[in-house]
């Protein structure tokens, strides 16, 4: 796992906005992109990893990320909303994506108030589809990589103990 | 996301798909009278192939069990109706059987597909099914087997339960030809020309039945059972009730060491300062194949261990010298890692005996000094239920011995079509006579009997007890967790939104009578295979005595041990199955789509059946009041028949494993670390402020109980799996742990998700560590 560094100021700003129930202003979000649901039959076409970050300044929602190691070329990337993390939902935005097995994703959008709320509560996710594992793959909700955008949180390397509280999406995003 | 797919082949398929519509499954819509794309001979051959390769997990009647999805009925058609025969072929050919993917030939696979289709109402025709035959399953299969073929597939013959006694060990040896010295049990050897081959028997099964067979896999399994090596242990001190209540520091007499289930050793010779010097003292190779998740027991300097084939061995705990060995049998049903129903987790010691429950449902008392059988009984009196592959129930959780009784739970019991139920039962430790039993589902007229949507008693199933209970001597109460109601999907179960007492509950029973004192249902109406069956840890703070437990949803529960009232709860990993979970009241509310689930719709479950927590037990480090808990972080999508696809838990950065500590008094998080591989052992903590735990990727480590820092680690041969223990002999402290394979979701999910982790398919061993002399 890649080691990322915690940015206290960002979290403080986020915590303040959440505490006071304000819209997500100047907040930062992050996700790791991981393989979508797979089994022993489909794990050979659903693979790869990536990371993405997002920011929202009150007007523009900006997403950037990269990915690598997909078994076939990317064909599309989108942002979806979901009822809860881990559940697929309807498409919200299309992202630019490198049509390759590795590359980048990006996009800038204007959010409605409903979409702002989805972002703030961890209910927007990025999905990348590839040639061999497109969005409409027949066996379940399939694509290739996905990841939920959560408020910036501390990610430490494997086997590094964290004291006291550690990030659990339910407990670290506003109420559903 | 769920949209109709357009690649079904042929005009008929296209018409069928149009008839089905985008989401609705109408199994009988097309081709109900048309011949299917397979022949009657394929069905005949497929029945035999299914019996040999599939029936053990999916059951002879295709009903499925635990991790094996149903392959028949509404559940199967709901899951597979929109897919083609080619996709079913591909799925089976690439992934089955479990642990032996790719071992079925094209013909065997096609025959099995034909058999499954026929058992779901498809009619054989003149054209043989091939790997490329792609017909929508929903267009030819209704889910109803025709009357003439409604009988289940035969159970694959295996080595029969042997009688006690026997001679010298013989092993299948050599890669080209094996020649057992004699058959199973005391049966005479059979020559190659006299093979008692049964249709559908695999080479492995033939070998285990004592038939001379080629051994391309080099299975290396014993074919002899009985008292292979008789012991003569001198000066053995009988284990008393008082010892069980107050275990000597040097010992490990039961599952979690003490009645309260702490898995805490008061030994401190190995500590945070010197653990870096820990070194291997001896190791012992255990029988290969099957499933190993056992707790070694130690008393009087003797280490007792269970191995696959129900092989019980006594070893000098200081040197590893074998003292006696009794192979109770039978052998695992197939080579390679076994399923979760083929193991036991804990034996028990009392008097001069050691007590063993077997996955086949037998309960044995063996003389701990010699290994000789003292008595043997069967938990269900050997009641047969062929649809379940044998008897009406087995036992995998282990035993606990209280007041001269052996208490044992049941696994794989209480299934549809079987009039019996799961129960906890108690046996006189001296004679094996059953004293009492407690049925773990509430029947009509009982407290909680009105929580099953008025189902008849014989349709109230589940409540397995596949983890041994704990005990509070002060109140003479034994505490057990139960698994969910069966079938575990509420839409198939027929229980509506009923709470299905006493499933997924904590049960408090009078240890002498089995009478229910109280029950607490953690997940009323559970519907996602998320058991709440695991260890019940008894902890006392001042005047308050509590039960602490955590189930697959990953919620740590604290319940009043005397009254059964909710005290507190804490979420430990992400979950999305409860729309609402109130940590102050303990009330859970399932998501609407779970409440209204349908067999042909995918459901997300975080955690999935790997569990936020599973059988890998918590340790209670009493000096720091810390519960040290192995956690796992994966999710699934599942269909109505139990078919699943897996994914990493959101917010975990791909780290499937987590070890976390919580303060028992107030459930405050203390420390936590995560890693890619899940932990596949229970935790043992010690007075040396150390916690030992092993993982999927072969690492066995010691962490500081105060902060979670890893202070020592080593890499072993294969997955570190089982329950580590600590003990002492002649004043020297040891730590013992097993490596092994087999099991259910805790093995299967990471085996698919963690593709980069490579493990040997063998290496069932016992390792014993200590500081240098």
Same domain, B257 and B142: no
Domain co-membership, B527 together with B384: yes
Lowest mean pLDDT among A8-17, A51-60, B195-204, B509-518: A8-17
Structural domain count, chain B = 2
How much is the pLDDT for B154?
Answer: 62
Q: What is the pLDDT of residue B725?
A: 98
Predicted confidence (pLDDT) per residue in B292-333, tens digit = 999 999 999 999 999 999 999 999 999 999 999 999 998 887
Which is it for the CA torsion B429, B432, B435, B436, positive or negative?
Answer: positive
CB atoms A85 and B655 under 8 Å: no
**Could you count the other beta carbons within 10 Å of the beta carbon of residue A5?**
7
Record: contact B650-A89, CB cut-off 8 A: no
Nearest-by-CA chain B residue for A164: B670
- Comparing CB atoms, the residue among B5, B602, B650 nearest residue A141 is B602
Select from A86, A87, A136 the Cβ nearest to the Cβ of B5.
Answer: A136
* pLDDT band, residue B209 (cuts 50/70/90): low
Q: pLDDT of B276-294, one tens digit each? A: 999 999 999 999 889 999 9
Q: CB-CB: which of B95, B650, B671 is closest to A39?
A: B95
Q: Check whether residue B123 and residue B256 sit in a common domain.
A: no
Q: Which residues in B lie closer than 8 A to residue A176 (C-beta atoms)? A: 579
Query: Could you tell me if B268 and B137 lie in one domain?
Result: no
pLDDT at A113: 96
Q: What are the pLDDT digits (tens) for A51-100? A: 999 999 999 999 999 999 999 999 999 999 999 999 999 999 999 999 99
Q: State phi, psi for B95 to the nearest 5 degrees.
A: -125, -10
Q: Cβ–Cβ of A86/B94 closer than 8 Å?
A: no
Asked if the structure places residue B164 within a domain, the reply is no
Both B399 and B545 in one domain: the answer is yes
pLDDT at site A139 = 55
Q: Which of A155, A161, A163, A169 would best serve as a mutation to test chain B binding (most B beta carbons within 10 A)? A: A161
Q: Provide φ and ψ at B512, rounded to 5°.
A: -90, -25
CA distance A23 to chain B (A): 22
Over residues A26-40, the pLDDT tens digits come to: 459 999 999 999 988
- Is the Cβ pair B90, A158 closer than 8 Å? no
B176-198 b/e with 16+ CB inside 10 Å = b?
eebebebbbbebeebeeeeeeeb
Q: At what angle do helices B40-53 and B106-119 cross, to 10 degrees?
A: 100
**pLDDT averaged over chain A?**
84
Q: Residue B718's pLDDT is what? A: 97
Count of CB atoms situated within 10 Å of the CB of B624 = 16
| Nearest residue of A to residue B95, measured between CA atoms | A40
Last residue of a domain, one of B112, B147, B182: B147
In what helix (H) or strand (E) does residue A115 lie, and over which residues does it extend? Answer: helix A113-120
Contacts of A162 in chain B (CB under 8 A): 671-673
In this model, does residue B479 exceed pLDDT 60? yes
Using one digit for the tens of pLDDT, what is the confidence trace for B236-278? 999 999 999 999 999 999 999 999 999 999 999 999 999 999 9
On chain A, the residues whose CB falls within 8 A of the CB of B134 are: none
Task: State the smallest CA–CA distance between residue B625 and chain A in angstroms.
Answer: 15
Q: How far, in Å, are B136, B445, B525, B539, B540 from residue B521 at the CA level?
A: 42, 18, 9, 20, 22
From chain A, pick out residues whose CB is under 8 angstroms from the CB of B591.
Answer: 83-84
Model confidence at B21: pLDDT above 50: no
Say if B184 falls within a structural domain: no
Q: Let me know: does B337 contact B291? Beta carbons within 8 Å.
A: yes
CB pairs under 8 A between A and B: 134
Domain assignment of residue B333, yes or no = yes
Residues A116, A125: Cα–Cα separation, whole Å? 13
Domain that holds residue B761: 252-770
Q: How far is it, in rounded angstroms, from Cα B493 to Cα B452?
A: 9
Instruction: Name the closest residue on chain A to residue B578, using Cα atoms.
Output: A84
Query: Inter-chain contact B1–A88, Cβ cutoff 8 Å?
Result: yes
Q: Does B584 touch chain A (CB under 8 A)?
A: no
Between the CA atoms of B586, B587, B590 and B596, what dihedral angle is there, to the nearest 10 degrees? 150
This model of the complex carries an ipTM of 0.88
Instruction: Search chain B and give the residue with CA nearest A43.
Output: B752
CA dist B407 and B467 (Å) reads 11
Q: For B87-127, how does the pLDDT look when each residue is reduced to its tens digit (9 = 90+)?
A: 899 888 888 887 677 788 899 999 999 999 999 999 999 99
Q: Which residue has the higher pLDDT, A174 or B610?
A: B610
The answer to whether residue B749 neighbours chain A at the CB level (below 8 Å) is no
Same domain, B318 and B454: yes
B564 has pLDDT over 90: yes
Amino acid B76: pLDDT: 85
How large is the average pLDDT for residues A143-155?
A: 94
**pLDDT tens digits for B36-75?**
899 999 999 999 889 888 887 787 888 877 678 889 888 7
pLDDT at B308: 94
pLDDT tens-digit readout, B510-560? 999 999 999 999 999 999 999 999 999 999 999 999 999 999 999 999 999
Q: Answer for the pair B183, B159: CB distance below 8 angstroms, yes or no.
A: no
Contact between chains at A139 and B83 (C-beta distance less than 8 A):
yes
Cα B357 to Cα B348: distance, rounded to the nearest angstrom: 9
Q: Name the domain boundary from B124, B147, B170.
A: B147
pLDDT given for residue B491 in this prediction: 84
- Put simply, the answer to whether B1 touches A150 (Cβ < 8 Å) is no
pLDDT of residue B440: 98
| Separation of alpha carbons A1 and B144, rounded Å | 49
For residue A159, list chain B residues with Cβ-Cβ distance below 8 A: 673, 675, 710
Put simply, the answer to whether B650 touches A150 (Cβ < 8 Å) is yes
pLDDT at B170 over 70: no
Residue B316 DSSP label: E
Q: Is residue B160 part of a domain?
A: no
Q: Closest partner residue to A170 among B1, B95, B571, by Cβ?
A: B571
Q: Encoding tokens for residue B426?
A: 């108690």
Mean pLDDT of the region A104-117: 97
B chain contacts of residue A169, beta-carbon cutoff 8 Å: 574, 650-651
Residue B699 has pLDDT above 60, yes or no: yes
Q: Which of residues 171-190 of B touch A (CB under 8 A)?
A: none
For chain B, what is the mean pLDDT?
86
B17 and A CB contact within 8 Å? no
Q: H/E element holding B567? A: strand B566-571
Q: Give the residue on A whose Cα is nearest the Cα of B575.
A: A170
Give the CATH number, domain containing residue B80. 1.10.760.10
Q: What is the DSSP string of B92-129?
A: HHHH-STT-TT-S-HHHHHHHHHHHHHHTTPEEESSPP
* CATH number listed for the domain at residues A8-153: 2.60.40
């Amino acid at each position: 796992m890649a080691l990322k560094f915690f940015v206290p100021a960002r979290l403080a700003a986020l915590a303040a906005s959440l505490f006071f129930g304000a819209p997500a202003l100047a907040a930062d979000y992050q996700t790791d992109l991981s393989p979508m649901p797979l089994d022993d039959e489909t794990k050979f076409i659903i693979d790869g990893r990536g990371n993405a970050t997002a920011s929202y300044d009150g007007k523009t929602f900006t997403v950037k990320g990269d990915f690598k190691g997909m078994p076939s070329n990317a064909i599309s990337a989108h942002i979806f909303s979901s009822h809860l993390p881990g559940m697929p939902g309807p498409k919200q935005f299309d992202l630019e994506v490198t049509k390759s097995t590795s590359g980048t994703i990006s996009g800038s959008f204007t959010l409605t108030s409903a979409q702002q709320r989805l972002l703030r509560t961890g209910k927007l996710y990025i999905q990348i589809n590839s040639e061999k594992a497109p969005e409409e793959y027949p066996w379940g909700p399939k694509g290739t990589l996905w990841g939920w955008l959560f408020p910036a949180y501390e990610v430490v390397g494997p086997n590094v103990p964290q004291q006291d509280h550690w990030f659990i999406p339910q407990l670290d995003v506003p109420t559903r | 996301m769920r949209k109709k797919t357009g690649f079904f082949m042929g005009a008929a398929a296209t018409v069928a798909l149009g008839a089905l519509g985008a989401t609705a499954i109408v199994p009988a819509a097309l081709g109900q009278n048309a011949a299917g794309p397979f022949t009657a001979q394929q069905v005949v051959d497929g029945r035999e192939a299914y019996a040999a390769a599939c029936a053990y997990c999916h059951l002879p009647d295709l009903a499925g069990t635990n991790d094996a999805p149903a392959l028949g009925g509404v559940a199967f058609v709901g899951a597979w109706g929109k897919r083609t025969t080619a996709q079913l072929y591909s799925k089976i050919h690439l992934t089955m059987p479990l642990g032996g993917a790719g071992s079925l030939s094209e013909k065997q696979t096609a025959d099995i597909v034909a058999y499954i289709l026929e058992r779901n109402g498809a009619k054989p025709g003149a054209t043989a099914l091939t790997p490329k035959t792609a017909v929508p399953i929903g267009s030819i299969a209704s889910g109803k087997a025709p009357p003439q073929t409604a009988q289940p597939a035969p159970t694959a013959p295996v080595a029969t339960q042997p009688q006690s006694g026997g001679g010298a060990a013989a092993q299948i040896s050599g890669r080209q030809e094996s020649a057992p010295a004699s058959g199973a049990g005391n049966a005479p050897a059979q020559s190659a020309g006299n093979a008692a081959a049964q249709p559908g028997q695999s080479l492995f099964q033939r070998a285990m039945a004592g038939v001379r067979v080629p051994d391309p896999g080099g299975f290396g399994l014993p074919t002899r059972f009985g008292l292979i090596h008789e012991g003569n242990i001198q000066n053995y001190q009988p284990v008393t009730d008082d010892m069980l209540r107050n275990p000597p520091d040097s010992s490990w007499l039961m599952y979690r060491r003490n009645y309260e289930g702490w898995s805490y050793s008061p030994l401190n010779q190995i500590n945070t300062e010197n653990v870096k010097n820990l070194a291997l003292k001896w190791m012992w190779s255990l029988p290969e194949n099957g499933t190993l998740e056992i707790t070694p027991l130690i008393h009087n300097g003797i280490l007792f261990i269970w191995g696959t084939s129900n092989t019980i061995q006594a070893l000098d705990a200081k040197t590893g010298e074998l003292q006696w060995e009794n192979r109770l049998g039978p052998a695992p049903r197939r080579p390679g890692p076994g399923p979760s129903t083929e193991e036991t987790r804990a034996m028990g010691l009392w008097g001069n005996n050691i007590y063993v429950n077997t996955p086949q449902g037998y309960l044995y008392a063996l003389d701990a000094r010699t290994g000789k059988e003292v008595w043997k009984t069967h938990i269900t009196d050997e009641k047969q239920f062929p649809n379940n592959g044998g008897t009406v129930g087995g036992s995998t959780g282990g035993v606990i011995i209280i007041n001269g009784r052996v208490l044992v739970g049941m696994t794989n019991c209480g299934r549809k079509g079987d009039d019996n139920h799961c129960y906890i039962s108690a046996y006189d430790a001296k004679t094996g006579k059953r004293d009492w039993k407690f049925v773990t589902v509430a029947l009509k007229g009982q407290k909680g009997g009105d929580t099953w949507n008025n189902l008849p008693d014989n349709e109230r199933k589940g409540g397995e007890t596949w983890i041994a209970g704990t005990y509070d001597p002060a109140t003479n109460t034994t505490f057990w967790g139960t698994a969910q109601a069966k079938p575990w999907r509420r839409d198939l179960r027929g229980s509506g939104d009923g709470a299905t007492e006493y499933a997924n509950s904590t049960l408090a029973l009078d240890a002498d009578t089995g009478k229910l004192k109280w029950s607490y249902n953690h997940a009323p109406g559970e519907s996602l295979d998320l058991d709440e069956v695991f260890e019940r840890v008894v902890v006392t703070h001042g005047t308050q005595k509590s039960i602490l437990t955590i189930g697959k949803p990953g919620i740590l529960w604290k319940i009043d041990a005397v009254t059964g009232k909710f005290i507190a709860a804490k979420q430990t990993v992400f979950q999305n199955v409860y729309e609402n979970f109130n940590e102050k009241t303990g009330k859970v509310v399932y998501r609407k789509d779970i409440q209204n689930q349908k067999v042909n719709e995918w459901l997300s479950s975080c955690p999935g059946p790997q569990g936020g927590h599973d059988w890998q037990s918590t340790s209670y480090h009493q000096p720091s009041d810390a519960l040290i808990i192995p956690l796992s972080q994966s999710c699934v999508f599942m269909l109505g028949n139990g078919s699943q696809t897996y994914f990493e838990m959101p917010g975990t950065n791909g780290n499937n494993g987590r070890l976390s500590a919580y303060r028992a008094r107030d459930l405050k998080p203390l420390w936590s670390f995560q890693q890619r591989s899940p932990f596949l052992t229970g935790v043992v903590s010690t007075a040396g402020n150390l916690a030992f735990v092993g993982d999927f990727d072969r690492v066995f480590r010691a962490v500081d109980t105060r902060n979670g820092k890893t202070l020592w680690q080593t890499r072993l041969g294969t997955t570190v799996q089982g329950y580590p223990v600590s003990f002492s002999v002649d004043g020297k402290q040891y730590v013992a742990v097993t490596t092994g394979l087999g099991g259910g979701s805790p093995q299967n999910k990471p085996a698919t998700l963690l593709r980069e982790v490579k493990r040997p398919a063998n290496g069932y061993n016992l390792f014993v560590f200590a500081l240098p002399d």
